Chains A and B, each alone.
Chain A
Amino acid sequence: MYHLEVVTPEGYVFKGDVEQTVINTSDGEIGILENHMLLLTNVVPGKLRVEKSPEDIEEFATTYGIIDIRGDKVIILLEEAFPIDKIDVEKEKSLLKRAEERLIDREKLSLKEIEYYEKLRNRALTLLELAGVKHI
């Protein structure tokens, strides 16, 4: 068991002792058990699985953020995170639409804008997939 904190600017999403955490990082999915090596890396949109015990599991949808694995304490800082069944499908669809519309005229955008809209598209696609919506 170790202590896990999942924090967004809107407050704690999860705080408590867990056995295992599975999260999507920029290098792929990682599972974190007790005594994991110290690691600091970026989190990308995907599913966050929090196992308090093999029977007691909570799942969240995450957007971008950072994970800090420091001995007996793991902190995940996220822009947004919510239970999978709370994904706002309409909102994600409209975000996806906005991102794709902007990305059509790629040459008109600055590099930063392209990065922003690609991240937005990735987020919306991932969250829609988690919510079980087939991409149109």
Chain B
Amino acid sequence: MAKLSPRDIKRKIQGIKNTQRITKAMKAVSAAKLNKAKAKLNATRPYSEKLYDLINDLAAFVDRDIHPLLKVRDEKVIDFVVITADRGLAGAFNSNVIKRTVNTVKKLEEEGKEVNLILIGRKAVQFFKNKNFKIREEYEDIYRDHLNLRFTSQVGGAIAQRYAEEQIDAVYLINNELITTATYETKIRKLLPIEPKIDYTKLSELTRYNIEPSSEEVLEELMKRYINFQLYRALVESSTAEHAARMIAMDNATRNAGEAIKKWTIIFNKARQEAITTELIDIINAANAIS
């Protein structure tokens, strides 16, 4: 590295300071967004529990082998819903999902299965586009305005239809989930077929129910809701983890910038001292020469 003048070094330090200011601000923004997202995630819990309970109750009434959304088949054709963020600057957040997807899809294809991708999030779309993958659908820019059941019921409705028509045999979801505020994990979950946990001891209570129009139809409605809701939940999970990941990444960046500033300040001080010393030597030599 060429020797930098004290002035160049000073400019460099200023540059790092500016970057640090930005990373600090981004960290604060992510922290605020994280709290909001966490609240949204917690709010899904009562709905989720009640929906799941109802499905388990109703599944006792219907024949699994006949119901179009409960029927289990050999997994030959699989839909894979890949959820990433729209934006980066969040550490390995997006690449974790992408890497895991690539590996899993490769493995499944080696087993002779057909895998179709449903991509949600710009980072996923950018990566998988124009590569050797089968892409069914792609969605970008949904986190800000479309993170709701109306959006997911569009995606989920199509999934339910494909499953009911036996075009696909299984559906998996891959997304990041928050474990603690400082850690998240990439998880793969099975969305379809659903495996209800039937509690036969409740059956006598349940037979007193009037189910209109019929248990099959109500269960089908519930299952569709369940699919749409699971997609919604996965998106909320992912966006919560995204904010946490970005907060951590920006915290690290701020700290690294701090260390860089410290390092360059020492170099700057040394360079300045050197310059002063050189000047002093010059003056002393000159003075000695005169006397």
> Is A40 within 8 A of B212, CB to CB?
yes
State which of B51, B209, B213, B222 has its C-beta within 8 Å of the C-beta of A26: B213
Residues of A within 8 A of B213 (CB): 26-27, 41
Binding-face segment, B38-46, B186-194, B265-273: B38-46
Residues of A within 8 A of B222 (CB): 66
CB distance from A61 to the nearest CB of B (A): 15
> Is A66 within 8 A of B54, CB to CB?
yes
CA gap between A10 and B157 in the complex, in Å: 20
> Is B212 within 8 A of A9, CB to CB?
no
Is the C-beta of B71 less than 8 angstroms from some C-beta in chain A?
Answer: no
> Is B210 within 8 A of A66, CB to CB?
no
Binding-face segment, A50-58, A73-81, A82-90, A127-135: A73-81
> Is A110 within 8 A of B212, CB to CB?
no
CB distance from A113 to the nearest CB of B (A): 8
Is the C-beta of B84 less than 8 angstroms from some C-beta in chain A?
Answer: no
CB distance from A2 to the nearest CB of B (A): 16
CB distance from B78 to the nearest CB of A (A): 20
State which of B43, B149, B210, B211 has its C-beta within 8 Å of the C-beta of A80: B149
> Is A10 within 8 A of B40, CB to CB?
yes
> Is B212 within 8 A of A112, CB to CB?
no
- One digit per residue, 1 when the CB lies within 8 angstroms of any chain B CB and 0 when it does not, for chain A 1-20 equals 00001011111100000000
Residues of B within 8 A of A115 (CB): 157
* Count of A-B residue pairs with CB < 8 Å: 80
Residues of A within 8 A of B158 (CB): 112
CA gap between A9 and B52 in the complex, in Å: 13
> Is A41 within 8 A of B211, CB to CB?
yes
Q: Which residue of B lies closest to A116 (CB)?
A: B157
Is the C-beta of B161 less than 8 angstroms from some C-beta in chain A?
Answer: yes
> Is B149 within 8 A of A26, CB to CB?
no
CA gap between A65 and B225 in the complex, in Å: 8
Residues of B within 8 A of A11 (CB): 43-44, 46-47
Give the bracket for the number of chain B residues in contact with chain A. Answer: 20 to 34
Q: Which of A85-120 contact B (CB under 8 A)?
A: 110-112, 115-116, 120
CB distance from B160 to the nearest CB of A (A): 8
> Is A39 within 8 A of B210, CB to CB?
yes
> Is B54 within 8 A of A26, CB to CB?
no
CB distance from A52 to the nearest CB of B (A): 20
Q: A9-B232, A116-B153 are in contact. Are A66 and B161 (CB under 8 A)?
A: no
> Is A66 within 8 A of B229, CB to CB?
no
> Is A9 within 8 A of B218, CB to CB?
no
> Is B157 within 8 A of A112, CB to CB?
yes
Is the C-beta of B259 less than 8 angstroms from some C-beta in chain A?
Answer: no
CB distance from A38 to the nearest CB of B (A): 5
Q: Which of B18-62 contact A (CB under 8 A)?
A: 40, 43-44, 46-48, 50-51, 54, 58
CB distance from B155 to the nearest CB of A (A): 11
CB distance from A23 to the nearest CB of B (A): 13
Is the C-beta of B144 less than 8 angstroms from some C-beta in chain A?
Answer: no
Is the C-beta of A136 less than 8 angstroms from some C-beta in chain B?
Answer: no
Given contacts A27-B212, A40-B218, 17 further A-B contacts (CB under 8 A): A5-B50, A8-B47, A11-B44, A11-B46, A11-B47, A26-B212, A40-B54, A40-B209, A40-B210, A41-B213, A42-B212, A77-B50, A77-B54, A110-B161, A111-B161, A115-B157, A116-B157
Show the binding face of B for A, using Cβ within 8 Å. 40, 43-44, 46-48, 50-51, 54, 58, 148-150, 153-154, 157-158, 160-161, 208-213, 218, 221-222, 225, 229, 232-233
Q: Can you list 9 A-B pairs, Cβ within 8 angstroms, ordered by A?
A: A9-B43, A39-B209, A40-B209, A40-B211, A66-B218, A79-B149, A80-B148, A116-B153, A120-B150
